[in-house]
Amino acid sequence: MATKHDWTKEEILEIYNKPFMELLYEAATIHREHHDPNTVQVSTLLSIKTGGCPEDCGYCPQAARYHTDLEGNDLMSVNQVKAQALRAKASGSSRVCMGAAWRNVKDGEEFDNVLEMVRTINKLDMEVCCTLGMLTENQAERLAEAGLYAYNHNLDSSEEYYKEVISTRGYQDRLDTIGNVRKTNVTVCSGGIIGMGESEADRAGMLVALSTLNPQPESVPINALVPVEGTPLEEQAPVPIWEMIRMVATTRIVMPETQVRLSAGRTQMSREGQAMCFFAGANSIFAGDKLLTTPNPDVNEDMEMFKMLGLNPQKAFEKKSQPESIDAENSQYQSKGEKPKWSRPGHKIERNLDAQQKTKAKA
């Protein structure tokens, strides 16, 4: 079945509000058609520059204007990041995502250091993801040349509710950054947060914005708000696990080929709740005791859960193919007489990353 790119808010709400068991069954069935249900990617998120952000995102303790007792730090060194990446790889992670508390990337020494971090982790045969704020087209291309695998830039919520949470950056700014990433061979990671006071219609609206992108994002993180004292959203009640499962299941149905990432808020979820999220289509988690600045389960606890559930960590650069989106992207490049961005040997996909291969050859 071809991937649908014209979902409406009404259609997605109808899915979200299906009887729970029916929703789970449909999501699990679709999940098995496109993914190995017993494989989950383990990623590690590093805060390479913490605090001091000029934005006013209502959920974020890194905003300079909020008093959250967060201990900030300047940009980490390349050697520090390499040491953390090696530790993450040894514990089972196949992807490292580096986050910097910036409104937007500024050319200069710090960005050059980030590019070197990307090259360094890339040489470890790990997927490298960055979340650095807004990007220009040229900056996205430089990250691609360094070997970046994915760029994360969340939409956070629906366009309508977004204005209730953030005023220093517009929704279109986020879409523009995603568009700049799409002009390169870097994959897109974009999702959002539930539990910020939004309605079910807002949750559906966020999925409309993501699912109508063509191609759809390769990764969609679903975060449950972790309220932090000192932020405007500190009084929000925890998201019920049933709502988290419904959101994961709906995301899986609407974006069948996408990797759905069970992200922030797992410390509030039981193993049973997380297992139902995996059953409903989540196939990625972040490991480590922190997600940038908020608590996260210890990696040993996650490995115990994997063993209990019979789950296997996904290897780097390995997942089932996304035939429609791959063929659609390749046709665009072939029509211009350019080399296709993707190749598809067997059941896996590989990216034609000449720049990345040259970087490795020099190492």
Give the model's pLDDT for residue 331. Answer: 57
Q: What is the pLDDT of residue 352?
A: 43
* DSSP state for residue 3 in the 8-state scheme: P
Q: Tell the residue number behind the tokens 């700014």, with chain if given.
A: 173
pLDDT in tens, 74-99: 889 999 999 989 988 888 889 999 98
The whole-number pLDDT of residue 334 equals 58
Please state, as a whole number, how many other Cβ atoms lie within 10 Å of the Cβ of residue 253. Answer: 24
Q: Which listed residue (95, 97, 169, 182) is catalytic?
A: 97
Give the pTM.
0.83
DSSP annotation string for 114-164: HHHHHHHHHTTT-EEEEE-SB--HHHHHHHHHHT--EEE---BS-HHHHHH
* Contact between residue 67 and residue 310 where contact means Cβ atoms under 8 Å apart: no
Within 13 Å of residue 134, how many CA atoms lie on the same side as its CB?
15
User: In the prediction, which pLDDT does 307 show?
Assistant: 93
Question: Catalytic residue among 95, 203, 261, 266, which?
Answer: 261
Q: What's the CA gap between 340 and 332, in Å, rounded?
A: 8
Say whether 189 is catalytic: yes
Provide block-wise average pLDDT over 10 residues at a time, the chain (363 residues).
88 97 97 94 88 74 68 84 90 89 84 94 92 93 94 94 89 94 95 94 96 95 88 87 97 96 87 95 79 61 91 82 47 57 37 44 43
Amino acid 278 reads F
Annotated active-site residue 130? The verdict is no
Q: Output the pLDDT for position 40.
A: 93
The Cα–Cα gap between 195 and 149 comes to 29
Looking at residue 355, its pLDDT comes to: 42
Q: Which of 95, 119, 129, 169 is catalytic?
A: 129
Active-site hit among 95, 142, 182, 189: 189
In 3D space, the residue among 320, 127, 326, 318 whose CA is nearest the CA of residue 215 turns out to be: 326
Pick from 132, 42, 55: nearest CA to 87? 42
Spell out the domains of the chain, with CATH numbers in brackets.
Answer: 9-311 (3.20.20.70)
pLDDT at 300 (0 to 100): 82
pLDDT at 298: 72
277 is catalytic: no
pLDDT of residue 52: 67
Q: Distances from the Cα of 151 to the Cαs of 211, 213, 237, 262, 345, in angstroms?
A: 17, 15, 30, 17, 24
| One-letter amino acid for residue 138 of the chain | N
Looking at residue 124, its pLDDT comes to 92
